[in-house]
Structure 1
């Protein structure tokens, strides 16, 4: 059904704010993600409540809510033409956007149809919801959220995520399946409501942001290493197209001090290629031990790459791939070096080339820092044939890093 109004200006001229609809925007200090519902209230009931719960106190939050006693569908502005200025501005200042909606779906089927241009984050949200026991399907074209004009894609990275929750899924969030305004305003929620929100929030919780305010300055995030031999994995992205000189992001092992460590270093270049080298810093001199450009990988703002570094004795191996894709079987590079043997520290390093001309700061977003490698241990129950995958390794989640600018 076509929208009644072609724009927010037309809607605002005919409807009364505070009587027919409300707008709510919350921007916590330092928040870089947003959770929005542009069809909240009684337009697509349940979407606004979920967007608010997911946002919590760490994400930006916006809701356009219909509060009429009836006829709230008149307030619907399609995502690709949505031009209400407060919501647009909130999204435009965010690096990541989660946009919650409601759709009819099949009667009685609890599911989420997911889409959007941020394909890496789509994959992460999908995985988190499925692990939590929710059904997720790929959104059909009419609600896929892949149009660049969709508000979810109007953030700093030009790519967002759209979650369309079926009516049955939204009803499952409220006692008795009651989606009425009275029930929603009562604050009553089911366990499924909180489980769903926690699953989506878990995707956010594993990220740490490093603001690079100057060129040729190393910024380390470090933790004590349990042993000298380690297997490290993390995801990383930057928020700008590279200009002038490269962005360098590296996993770090056997870090003794700023002058002595091993690195698996990603390089995002001015031509959008992605390189990976294993490097040694010894008494302040950094040397590439092996590696090169990775065929098939292209850097763009917000695109996440998964990086892995394995150090065992004098053998150092590294590989990188697009986050959300299967891990390559082969290592990108494998070298030997025995210069550094002590456990030292592990972590991440972010630095900009001396030739870099980006408008500063360039933001490096690290996540999913895992000690032990990304392998899955698969257990099949012989009695019923159920197969379950369990992660191997310790998920460090960037919880208590030491941040050092050198």
Structure 2
């Protein structure tokens, strides 16, 4: 049987991804001048980096088949993203998997029988110094991420920030909700409030509002998505052992309350 590497699959999918529109060209901006790489493509091309050593890419695209003359079957229309997973913005990989409907430790559907969503993540997997692998959301041009988002009606991206970046007091555990899908933003804010999770509308926080059409989360069929920026204290409260090796196995009630709120908004 012929085997095909993941890198080959990534390249094949990328070949059919739509080209970026001129209005959203991927160029560095002053807000993210500190990024070492102007795009994912630039990062992947760096000979000093190796996939599987410095970084990893994981994704899942669900099969959809409708061969019946009867009523149409549902088609996957939601994607969950973690652009800065692993050691870049700790906790976002685990959240991405769980929001997509998979237990981050076992891979089992969680909750059993619940809906599952397409997902994509880029992760820093070094023992330390993963921050240089950060590529800002407006410059994300990974072909698989682009293909998944372009075919989705809804998208949610998970990010990490500090309380200071969110304009909050030190030690504040909160999530800042941004993006161009205003209806989904409203549902998320309501679901977080119902779950007792402190949430803020990012409309008044320019650095975190996620309202750039070039942001990967907004490159959907509807032209909008929801960007969730979780402060460090909130993410820390989600794990009893906050290491890349153990986060997936030590999720807390706070983690699952957050995941349940996001999934409620999506449903």
Smaller-chain TM-score bracket: 0.7 to 0.9
Question: In the alignment, what sits opposite 2:263?
Answer: 201
Question: In the alignment, what sits opposite 1:26?
Answer: 60
1:64 pairs with 122, 135, 138, which one? Answer: 122
Query: Which one has the bigger strand percentage?
Result: 1
Structure-to-structure mapping, 1:367-378, within 5 angstroms:
none
Question: In the alignment, what sits opposite 1:43?
Answer: 88
Q: Which runs of 5+ in 2 are unaligned?
A: 1-31, 64-74, 102-114, 164-168
Deviations 1:274-302 (A, max 9, x none): xxxxxxxxxxxxxxxxxxxxxxxxxxxxx
Question: In the alignment, what sits opposite 1:192?
Answer: 254
Question: In the alignment, what sits opposite 2:175?
Answer: 112
**Other structure's SS at 2:246 match:** helix
Q: Normalising by the residue count of structure 1, what TM-score does the alignment of the two structures yield?
A: 0.48
**Other structure's SS at 2:138 match:** coil
- 4+ runs of 1 displaced by more than 3 Å? none
Question: In the alignment, what sits opposite 1:6?
Answer: 38
| Cα-Cα RMSD | 1.3
Q: Normalising by the residue count of structure 2, what TM-score does the alignment of the two structures yield?
A: 0.73
Does residue 73 (structure 1) correspond to residue 131 (structure 2)? The answer is yes
* Bigger CA radius of gyration: 1
Deviations 1:108-133 (A, max 9, x none): 21000111110111000110011000
Question: Is the contact made by 1:25 and 1:90 (CA closer than 8 Å) also made in structure 2?
Answer: no
Answer 1 or 2: higher relative contact order, Cα 8 Å, separation at least 6.
2
Question: In the alignment, what sits opposite 2:209?
Answer: 144
Q: Which runs of 5+ in 1 are unaligned?
A: 206-406
Query: Which one has the bigger helix percentage?
Result: 2
Q: Report how many aligned residue pairs link the two structures.
A: 202
Alpha-carbon separation, structure 1, partners of 2:180 and 2:159: 16
What is the CA-CA distance between 1:179 and the residue it aligns to? Answer: 2.6
1:168 pairs with 223, 233, 241, which one? Answer: 233
Question: In the alignment, what sits opposite 2:148?
Answer: 90
Structure-to-structure mapping, 1:222-233, within 5 angstroms:
none
Deviates further, 123-132 or 12-21: 12-21
Question: Is the contact made by 2:184 and 2:266 (CA closer than 8 Å) also made in structure 1?
Answer: no
Question: In the alignment, what sits opposite 1:159?
Answer: 224
